[in-house]
Amino acid sequence: MTLKFPRMKTLSLLLLGLLPFVALRAELPTDITVTVPTQLEVMRGERVSGTISLEPGTRLELIDITDDYLLVHYRNTNGRVRAAHTDLPPKVLKEAAAQPIDRTKPVRKPRAALPPVPVPPLRTFPPVSPMERAFYGKLVHLEDGVLRPFDCTGLPVVKFYAIYFSANWCEPCRAVTPGLVEVYGRLRELYPEFELILVNRDLSAQEMEAYMKDAGIQFPALNWDATKLAADINGYAGPGIPCLVLVDEAGKVMSDTYRKGVYVGPTVVLEETWQILRDYRRRNPRRQD
């Protein structure tokens, strides 16, 4: 049986060991479109390690067909989706199923030097509030000195989000960040309904990771790759950084670094955050275990 490799990108993925071996078929469509809400199952070998929600209209790069699933590439992630949830013509699926797949070739393991692609944790519930939906599955944090996916299962408890726009190249940011790092633990201990999230303005994911390490940032950050597409989150940013904005779970601005074009600074927002959280606690006393 002669195997054809219609796309060099797919070949590279196989050589790197990021996908299990499958027989690639020529004349497959290059791209497909999701037609109904579905889940992209992120694969590690033959095991599903996580899922990503996809909306109708999402474009995917088609790699190959296996049984009722399509192997696809989405952004920086490889996985599979059900063929029935895409616009792949049934005729193509039927013809592909009729071709035998040679699985005798051993699976090549990933190189040890290649870091795993971060994936969101398995979803155990649908996000409810607008801010929860905006951040769910897109957050990372430092764990043992490495950026890893942040466990978003606690977000339903969060009622207030402080969004911190900052970067390592910004000297005023480097002056403000240590204070936020110091106060974060106390805020979270007293008010689990609060979360602080970094939205980084550095030029690469590597620079963001270095910034978080150097500053000792333990609060979660929006994944650098997701920042450009996060129009809803970027809409809170002012014309400059450092910028700190406090919003409630519905996305309503409670306190902002910019007041009618006037820059008041993150310290003012932090002070108002303390007061807002204290008022919230008086109205909603914590239940004693």
**Per residue in 65-78, pLDDT tens?**
877 888 888 876 78
Distance CA 162, CA 164 (A): 6
pTM passes above 0.85: no
**The predicted structure's pLDDT at residue 44:** 64
**The predicted structure's pLDDT at residue 50:** 67
Question: What's the fold here for domain 8-97?
Answer: SH3 type barrels. (2.30.30)
Cβ pair 77, 83 in contact under 8 A: no
Q: Buried b vs exposed e over 141-150: b needs ≥16 C-beta within 10 Å?
A: bbeeeebebb
Helices (H) and strands (E) in the chain, counts: 8, 15
Residue limits of CATH 3.40.30.10 in the chain: 130-283
The two tokens of residue 47 are: 């095991």
Q: What share of the chain is helix, strand, coil (3-state, %, to 5)?
A: 30, 25, 40
What's the DSSP call for residue 110?
Answer: P
**The predicted structure's pLDDT at residue 23:** 40
**The predicted structure's pLDDT at residue 119:** 43
**The predicted structure's pLDDT at residue 28:** 65
**The predicted structure's pLDDT at residue 197:** 97
**The predicted structure's pLDDT at residue 11:** 39
Q: Which of 102, 99, 106 lies closest to 27, judged by CA?
A: 99
Residue limits of CATH 2.30.30 in the chain: 8-97
Q: What is the dihedral of CA 281, 140, 124, 134, to 10 degrees?
A: 70
* CB atoms inside a 10 Å sphere around CB 95: 14
Q: Which of 160, 143, 153 lies closest to 217, judged by CA?
A: 143
Cβ pair 194, 187 in contact under 8 A: yes
- Which ranges of the chain have pLDDT less than 70? 1-28, 44-50, 76, 96-127, 287-289
**The predicted structure's pLDDT at residue 173:** 94
**The predicted structure's pLDDT at residue 69:** 85
- Around 191, how many Cα atoms within 13 Å sit in the side-chain half-sphere? 24
Containing H/E element for 251? none
For the chain, how many residues are written? 289
Cβ pair 151, 138 in contact under 8 A: no
Question: What's the fold here for domain 130-283?
Answer: Glutaredoxin (3.40.30)
Cβ pair 42, 50 in contact under 8 A: yes
